[in-house]
Amino acid sequence: MSDHAERIVRDMLAAFGRRDLEAIMAAFAADAVYHNVPVAPIRGIAGIRTIFTAFLDAMEWLDLEVVHLATRGPMVLTERVDHFLMRNGAKFDLPVAGIFEVQGGKIVAFRDYFDLASFEGPAGMRLGA
């Protein structure tokens, strides 16, 4: 289970660098929850698709670098540095801790912990209300 969950998460994260929205979305269960913990969670595949489409549209280039990864059964914990080049020209790196829950071969929960101001300032995007 741990190896399978790890592969699903690694493949999904790598799909961001390829800007492959369909591969990203294929990793999620229909009722998945995506939560950038500084803001309200997004529930369901339609909402997750909307936010990931907005991210990809705003970014010229991105790489979600996995620094460390640990698994235990269906849980995958990542320490990442997310590298962004925004269409507005801003380039920055964001340290992130991500937690994923995988069930039935799909991600059912994805939580990212990071400093909101360190993203919103250079990105020129508001994630919160």
* Residue 128, domain member (yes or no): no
The answer to whether position 49 is within a domain reads yes
The strand pair at 28-36 and 106-113 is best described as parallel
What pLDDT was estimated at residue 121? 85
Note the maximum CA span of the chain. Answer: 41
Per-residue pLDDT, 88: 87
Question: So what's the pLDDT on residue 1?
Answer: 58
Q: Is residue 90 assigned to a domain?
A: yes
Q: What is the mean pLDDT of each run of 10 residues along the chain (129 residues)?
A: 88 97 98 94 97 94 97 97 94 97 98 91 77
CB 7 within 8 A of CB 105: no
Structural domain of 61: 2-123
Report the C-alpha gap between 52 and 60 in whole angstroms. Answer: 14
- Written as one letter, the residue type at 2 is S
Residue 26 lies in a domain: yes
Q: What is the pLDDT of residue 107?
A: 98
Domain count, the chain: 1
Whether 29 and 104 have beta carbons less than 8 Å apart is answered as: yes
Residue 129 lies in a domain: no
Q: Per this entry, what is the length of the chain?
A: 129
CATH number at residue 45: 3.10.450.50
